Structure 1
Amino acid sequence: MNKLGKKLSLSISIAIICIITFSILLNKYFLPKYYLHEMKGNLESVTETIGSINKKDFINAVPELEKKYNVTIVYEQTNEDINSFNDSLRDNLDRKQVTLNKFWVTPDTLRKVENGKKVNKLYDQGKLKSSFLSSFMNKGNLFVLVGLSIAHFNDAAKVINMLYIYVLGIAVVIILLLVWLLTKKMTDPLKELKEVSEEIAELKFKKALKFKKAHVQTNDEIEELAYSINIMSDKLKKAHEDLLKKNENLKTFMADINHELKTPLSVIQIYAQGLKDGLDDGTYTDTILKQTKNISSLIEDLLNYSRIERAVFTKEKFNLFQLFQECLSKYDLECRTKNINVSVSNKVKGEMRVDADKKKIEMVFNNLISNAIKYTQNQKIDIAFAESGGQVLFTIQNGANIDDKKIEKVWEPFYVIESSRNKNVSGTGLGLAIVKSILERHQLDFGVLHQEGYIQFYIYFKRIP
């Protein structure tokens, strides 16, 4: 038997042994006294009733009182001859089918009753294994006996106690069998849960994933626990895989950062040395400034991403379309320089008012616009605002050919589509990660779509009156 079964068997067996032992002691020492006390109380009730009625009514009420209280009532005129008096009482008892081999009313008892006192006596009947409890009282010159037979409890208690011992033995055997079956039903799934937990603790999710609720059908908390562990396993597996991916992305990012910083720093060092040696042809300063700007931009992206993750958002009401136009105007010169055609369509009626953190939404627009300018392959960017179920749907798309398997990765921090690090299109991979973080904290629906020839980002803004 398993440990749980042993503990349950021992605990339940001890409880039953204590209960039966208490019952045995109760039967032996307390129950006879309690029974006698109850019988005396019953006689007391009868004698009080008799005392409250007159002699004539008493005689008429004897049969009813005997039936009601399950007692024997006899009465007799007092007689100076004590022997004759006792014989008359016995004859009266015999007529009521009460035969006593030990019964005698003493002169002292008779005198007390004649003086108006109530006397109680218990007559042990010896081999009959019973006693006769009697209460004597005087009622209008009548000696009244109210009595009832009481069985001896000692022998009965011995039989009952022996039965308890047999019951105890049988109960212990049944308990051991039931506990074994119960604990086996409990511990089998618990063992499986233990194995799964150990697999999870060692970050091995193969067994955990195979462990489903259908394997534990106990219809109780164990099944619920199994189901919860299964869900936890799935989530931990996903989190673990995400962490591994992020670690890989972080390694790539750190290598990229090293490259991004090392390359311009090397260029700056070379051109600074050229300035020192007097080799400047008029372009050295511009090159140094350009490389410095690249480093500054990279650092700014890192700082922005770090701030977004822990920043407190301050919402305010503002015109979404007006904010977008302000953002887009900043890229007008760059678009004309690169011959990029930007079209903006607005099909929303009325003012586009939203409640959001204005500076963070401005950062979203800036990142999406700069991203489209950087990656467009057909020199064209299409931007649209439309109504959709009471919300404002914003879309921005540009020409691009991207592997469908990589499309959802564009939101991941440190992910860069152009792994070749082409200077014309490459970035730090933090721009869209910043966009995702801001939109998620605003609880806005957003996503990315890719079809042959173009990529589209979309956001649903919650419009307010």
Structure 2
Amino acid sequence: MIKMNKISKKLLMMVSIIMLLVFGISYLLNNYFSSDYYLYKMKQRLTSIYFEVQNLSIEELVEAEQSIENNNNVTIVMVENHGSTEEINDNVQFALFKDKIVLNKFWITDETLQKVAKGQTVKLLFNQGKLKSSLLTVLYEQENQLILLGTVVVHNTDALQIVNQLNLYSILLGIIISLLLVAYFSQKIITPLEKLKSVAKDISNLNFKQVEIKSGDEIEELSYSINEMSNRLKNAHSELVKKNQSLNTLISSISHEVKTPLSLIQAYTIGIQDGLDDGTYTDVILEQVTYTSEMVDYLIKLSKVQAMKVNKSKFDLRELLQKVIAQYKITLQNNHLHVRSNLDSIENFSIEEDMSQMEIVFHNLISNAIK
């Protein structure tokens, strides 16, 4: 069973309308204008024969008469153009009878004979009634001879009705077969489009699928473009997720790292207000502000690259550790805590590392220990 969708229905409707118009117009033309067209073509043929023989003498016409009649399916009759109208009519009818053309109705009028006598060419059509035929004639005068060129025109109304009826049945059958074929082949076109639609919907839901279509046309090229778009969106989405993760990590790191220097700044500021400053509190506060600024810059740089370059240099680890511990003097006192160190047992305090990152490590260790 052929599945119909919106595009198939539209395509089927458009093709149906076009076929109905084409076949309908063809049927109407055959039914109502074929007889007139047939008569028009017969008149044209008879006129062309007249143009060929009008300048021939009687002797030349007599010699060519048999050939012209056989090749063009016409009858040529020549009678003396004198006497009464009735005599001329009898002579013409008898000549036609000898050529095996029997007529029910035939009469050349005086007016027609007068026109011919003046050198005019007269075209007449004699309907034979029940014989269902007509005699199409051209009359003209040549060397006092009345020359008639005639051809029988068969009335084909009955035959045309039968043919048109058969055409109608053929048209209806052709329309049905054509519509079935259109529905079948449109489905061949629509099926890949439905696949593309499904994949596009999945991509919009961040499910970056691929589609494989082998149709050898623009739809296959479109599938390649959609697959490429899916890959690029997948990569872009992956990069965006990584950046979001880096941003979340940055925010978390800043929140965590900034708390410690802010706590120290707060503690030393309160100490100044309480008159506990021994002359070093403002230096510690400025140092913590500088440290906080540098740490924020470092974290921002860290979020921009996956692996930051480490700037290693030689420095004294004991001095760095004592410096960091000194910054927590007020916090340790407020929490009634004391730091015990055994630094004298270490022989070599000189190391080669990134001093700024080591300072962050010590701050995290001491602040977490205090908490």
Structures share fold, TM-score greater than 0.5:
yes
The sequence identity of aligned pairs, in percent, is 38
For residues 241 and 212 of structure 1, the distance between their equivalents in structure 2, rounded to whole angstroms, comes to 20
Does residue 172 of structure 1 match 2:182?
no
Quote the offset at 1:245 in angstroms.
Answer: 2.4
Structure with greater helix percent: 2
8 Å CA contact 1:20, 1:164 repeated in 2: no
8 Å CA contact 2:119, 2:140 repeated in 1: yes
For residues 41 and 244 of structure 2, the distance between their equivalents in structure 1, rounded to whole angstroms, comes to 84
For residues 83 and 126 of structure 2, the distance between their equivalents in structure 1, rounded to whole angstroms, comes to 23
Higher relative contact order (CA 8 A, sep 6+): 2
Structure with greater strand percent: 1
Structure-2 change in CA distance of 1:291 and 1:63 (3 Å): farther
1:217 to 214, 237, 257: 214
Report the counterpart of residue 271 of structure 1 in structure 2.
Answer: 268
Does residue 186 of structure 1 match 2:193?
no
1:254 to 251, 255, 267: 251
For residues 283 and 256 of structure 1, the distance between their equivalents in structure 2, rounded to whole angstroms, comes to 29
Deviations 1:113-151 (A, max 9, x none): 123222111112334432221111111211111222223
Name whichever of 59-68 and 38-47 sits farther off. Answer: 59-68
Structure-2 change in CA distance of 1:336 and 1:10 (3 Å): closer
Give unpaired runs (5+ residues) of structure 2.
303-310, 317-350, 364-371
Deviations 1:32-66 (A, max 9, x none): 32333333333333334444455544444545655
Query: Structure 1: which amino acid aligns with 2:234?
Result: K
Structure-2 change in CA distance of 1:176 and 1:335 (3 Å): closer
For residues 171 and 189 of structure 2, the distance between their equivalents in structure 1, rounded to whole angstroms, comes to 26
8 Å CA contact 1:72, 1:148 repeated in 2: yes
For residues 268 and 110 of structure 1, the distance between their equivalents in structure 2, rounded to whole angstroms, comes to 136
2:74 to 67, 71, 75: 71
Report the counterpart of residue 119 of structure 1 in structure 2.
Answer: 122
Quote the offset at 1:336 in angstroms.
Answer: 6.8
Q: Helix, strand or coil: the match of 2:140?
A: strand
For residues 35 and 132 of structure 1, the distance between their equivalents in structure 2, rounded to whole angstroms, comes to 14
Report the counterpart of residue 329 of structure 1 in structure 2.
Answer: none
Name whichever of 128-137 and 256-265 sits farther off. Answer: 256-265
Report the counterpart of residue 162 of structure 1 in structure 2.
Answer: 165
Q: Which has the larger radius of gyration?
A: 2
Quote the offset at 1:31 in angstroms.
Answer: 3.1
Structure-2 change in CA distance of 1:63 and 1:299 (3 Å): farther
For residues 260 and 11 of structure 2, the distance between their equivalents in structure 1, rounded to whole angstroms, comes to 72
For residues 36 and 225 of structure 1, the distance between their equivalents in structure 2, rounded to whole angstroms, comes to 57
1:102 to 96, 105, 115: 105
**TM-score with structure 2 length normalisation?**
0.70
Does residue 131 of structure 1 match 2:134?
yes
Quote the offset at 1:165 in angstroms.
Answer: 1.5
8 Å CA contact 2:81, 2:144 repeated in 1: yes
8 Å CA contact 1:130, 1:150 repeated in 2: yes
Structure-2 change in CA distance of 1:271 and 1:111 (3 Å): same
Report the counterpart of residue 234 of structure 1 in structure 2.
Answer: 231
Report the counterpart of residue 439 of structure 1 in structure 2.
Answer: none
Give unpaired runs (5+ residues) of structure 1.
306-333, 340-377, 381-397, 399-417, 425-465
8 Å CA contact 1:28, 1:154 repeated in 2: no
Quote the offset at 1:259 in angstroms.
Answer: 2.8
Quote the offset at 1:87 in angstroms.
Answer: 4.1
Report the counterpart of residue 4 of structure 2 in structure 1.
Answer: 2
Q: Helix, strand or coil: the match of 2:143?
A: coil
Report the counterpart of residue 35 of structure 1 in structure 2.
Answer: 38
Q: Helix, strand or coil: the match of 1:422?
A: helix
8 Å CA contact 2:199, 2:211 repeated in 1: no
Report the counterpart of residue 26 of structure 1 in structure 2.
Answer: 29
Deviations 1:285-333 (A, max 9, x none): 443333333444466679999xxxxxxxxxxxxxxxxxxxxxxxxxxxx
Structure-2 change in CA distance of 1:261 and 1:64 (3 Å): farther
Quote the offset at 1:69 in angstroms.
Answer: 5.4
Structure-2 change in CA distance of 1:281 and 1:126 (3 Å): same
8 Å CA contact 2:195, 2:211 repeated in 1: no
